[in-house]
A and B are shown apart, each in its own frame.
Chain A
Amino acid sequence: MILETRTYPGARRPDRNYRHHADGVDIAVYEWGAESDPVLFLVHGGSDFAGTFDVFAPLLAAGGWRVVAWDHRGHGDSAHAALYGWDADIRDALSVMSSVTRSAAPVVAHSKGGALMMQLADSCPYRISAMVNIDGMPSKRRMPDVPDHDQSRLLADSIGSWLDFRHIAHDSFRKPGTLEELAQRRGKMNPRLSIEWLEYLVTVGAQQDADGWRWKLDPTMRFGGFGPWRPEWASLRMAALTVPFLGLLGTIDEPMGWGARARDVLPWIPASGRLEVLKDIGHFIHIEEPARVSTMILEFLS
């Protein structure tokens, strides 16, 4: 088998990588920049992995930061866990962060990672010195054009489908494909990202087996669905933040996006923070415009 590789302009694999044992769950940790520089944590979103920072992280590191990221449990090269949950993700994060520094450090977090870190910053403000949230701010908008009785039926279908999947989860596996096919599949979720970038991502976020490439993401994980979580809880946590806060929002909806608009978010921006809206950009703001976004963040952190 010949290992296929891709390069992408500006992409650089981490300077260091190692494993961290987070209460029985093996977490893959990555670092860019000099070990003697101040620590900055970079947190990926749901279904992503730290390798998606391969262009963005080096730009932050070049600004004088020791950039530390990790693959969440079940993502990238971290272990596939028996259980997944919001609190567990936050605990894993705290475990990794504590292993790097006991001091407060800035956090730059995308999408679900942003919401996780807002909860962490709310409950452990002594851990975070400043926060940048990249399109991980909540929106209360949800299916306004579907009547109540249909929503209940949709929920019943969603619950039944999820429970059915749990019966076969232990046999689930990811369908193999060529490197190009995996890139095209991901392109459906990331329609604004170039095929060259998506093919590069395959080489760092998927594994090449004898029968083809497979994403490393645990196939038992499913996104969306149902549950008691309410988006307004994230809003309340955001409003309560006391650390310097920068929120970044694009204006173009994408399948992986949260659909938040400035009008949804502005009322909840903390007194210590500000919101920047970047026009004509989708959910992956830091990947579409890495130079512009890293410059904004470095200025904010300075």
Chain B
Amino acid sequence: MSPVMLQHNQISLALHQVHEGTGRALLMLHGLGDSAEQMSKIEVKWNGPVWALDFTGHGQSTVPRGGGYSCEILMADADIALRHLGEATVLGRGLGAYIAFLLSGARPTLVRGAILLDGPGLAGGSIHATSNTEINDIGERAGTAPDPWALIELSRDARPPTYTTTFARLAANGSGLDEPIAVACKVTPPWVEAIAAEPGVITDISMQDALDVYAAL
């Protein structure tokens, strides 16, 4: 099935329906360098419609020239999908887990549970001042997905624990849910460790158990 194309400034975002259903939607967010197509291969039991988004520079979404990626821009990608779907539970893998988490704090009344899975781009970069590299040309890969600039910039973006705990608190305070975030990943970079210690965050839970918790809301 052809994806729904959504506009985010100069970018056309591809939102794919994985399967139909009735009830609240499940929005799947892929990992760094991955795509909605790969993400949709995860087997989930969910009665509502299931959708998967290609982030900017990935899959069938536009690949911009010259990079300039941030997790906040990808959060805005996901927010545009969320507005199309309405209230949804969000399942993210790797980088997509971080974006799902940010979105749960940014749109606490629309995100009915964010589930975080292991995958590429989960850790992000250093949480301290780091140095750049003098790479300013990506050669023949320019303009192709996954965008090399996305791979470079989003594998070194900073995710300080103090920043992420703020989003965890926004989700806990704004969602009206007891536990709006479920950490179902085994890898725990500093930002995951920090939010796992916050109230309103479920830990030691499987993906399907977390989906069942949020399906019951």
Hey, which bits of chain A sit against chain B, CB under 8 A? 22-25, 73, 81-85, 87-88, 90-92, 94-95, 98, 119-120, 122-124, 127, 152, 155-156, 159-160, 162-163, 166-167, 169-170, 220, 226-230, 232-234, 236-237
Asked if B169 and A152 make an inter-chain contact with CB atoms under 8 angstroms apart, the answer reads yes
B67 contacts which of A85, A94, A228 (Cβ < 8 Å)? A85
Complex formed: what's the CA distance from A25 to B136 in Å? 12
Complex formed: what's the CA distance from A94 to B91 in Å? 38
Contact with A along B4-21 (1 / 0, CB 8 A): 000111110000000000
Complex formed: what's the CA distance from A17 to B160 in Å? 41
Complex formed: what's the CA distance from A92 to B75 in Å? 24
Asked if B7 and A25 make an inter-chain contact with CB atoms under 8 angstroms apart, the answer reads no
User: Is B47's CB within 8 Å of the partner chain A?
Assistant: no
B66 contacts which of A22, A98, A227, A234 (Cβ < 8 Å)? A22
Asked if B107 and A163 make an inter-chain contact with CB atoms under 8 angstroms apart, the answer reads yes
Asked if B80 and A82 make an inter-chain contact with CB atoms under 8 angstroms apart, the answer reads no
A82 contacts which of B64, B76, B138, B153 (Cβ < 8 Å)? B64
Asked if B76 and A163 make an inter-chain contact with CB atoms under 8 angstroms apart, the answer reads yes
Asked if B8 and A166 make an inter-chain contact with CB atoms under 8 angstroms apart, the answer reads yes
Asked if A233 and B132 make an inter-chain contact with CB atoms under 8 angstroms apart, the answer reads no
Asked if B173 and A24 make an inter-chain contact with CB atoms under 8 angstroms apart, the answer reads no
Complex formed: what's the CA distance from A163 to B108 in Å? 13
Q: Output the least CB separation between B111 and chain A (Å).
A: 12
A166 contacts which of B80, B129, B131, B163 (Cβ < 8 Å)? B80
Q: Output the least CB separation between A218 and chain B (Å).
A: 10
User: Is B166's CB within 8 Å of the partner chain A?
Assistant: yes
B129 contacts which of A169, A170, A233 (Cβ < 8 Å)? A233
A228 contacts which of B7, B8, B69, B157 (Cβ < 8 Å)? B157
Known: A166-B80, A170-B10. A228 touches B137 (CB 8 A): no
Asked if B134 and A82 make an inter-chain contact with CB atoms under 8 angstroms apart, the answer reads no
A120 contact set on B, CB distance < 8 A: 132
Q: What are the nearest 7 A-B pairs in CB distance? A: A24-B65, A83-B68, A82-B64, A123-B131, A233-B129, A88-B68, A25-B66
Asked if B106 and A228 make an inter-chain contact with CB atoms under 8 angstroms apart, the answer reads no
User: Is B174's CB within 8 Å of the partner chain A?
Assistant: yes
Asked if B136 and A22 make an inter-chain contact with CB atoms under 8 angstroms apart, the answer reads yes
B166 contact set on A, CB distance < 8 A: 152, 155
User: Is B40's CB within 8 Å of the partner chain A?
Assistant: no
Asked if A229 and B158 make an inter-chain contact with CB atoms under 8 angstroms apart, the answer reads yes
In chain B, what residue has the closest Cβ to A120? B132
Complex formed: what's the CA distance from A94 to B135 in Å? 9
A159 contact set on B, CB distance < 8 A: 105-106, 170
Complex formed: what's the CA distance from A138 to B23 in Å? 49
A155 contact set on B, CB distance < 8 A: 166, 170
Q: Output the least CB separation between A26 and chain B (Å).
A: 9
Known: A23-B142, A82-B10, A166-B8. A94 touches B157 (CB 8 A): no
Q: Output the least CB separation between B11 and chain A (Å).
A: 6
A22 contact set on B, CB distance < 8 A: 66, 136
Complex formed: what's the CA distance from A273 to B186 in Å? 47
User: Is B112's CB within 8 Å of the partner chain A?
Assistant: no
Complex formed: what's the CA distance from A270 to B73 in Å? 34
Asked if A227 and B70 make an inter-chain contact with CB atoms under 8 angstroms apart, the answer reads yes
Complex formed: what's the CA distance from A155 to B132 in Å? 28
Complex formed: what's the CA distance from A120 to B132 in Å? 7
Asked if A25 and B65 make an inter-chain contact with CB atoms under 8 angstroms apart, the answer reads yes
Asked if A82 and B9 make an inter-chain contact with CB atoms under 8 angstroms apart, the answer reads yes
Asked if A73 and B66 make an inter-chain contact with CB atoms under 8 angstroms apart, the answer reads yes
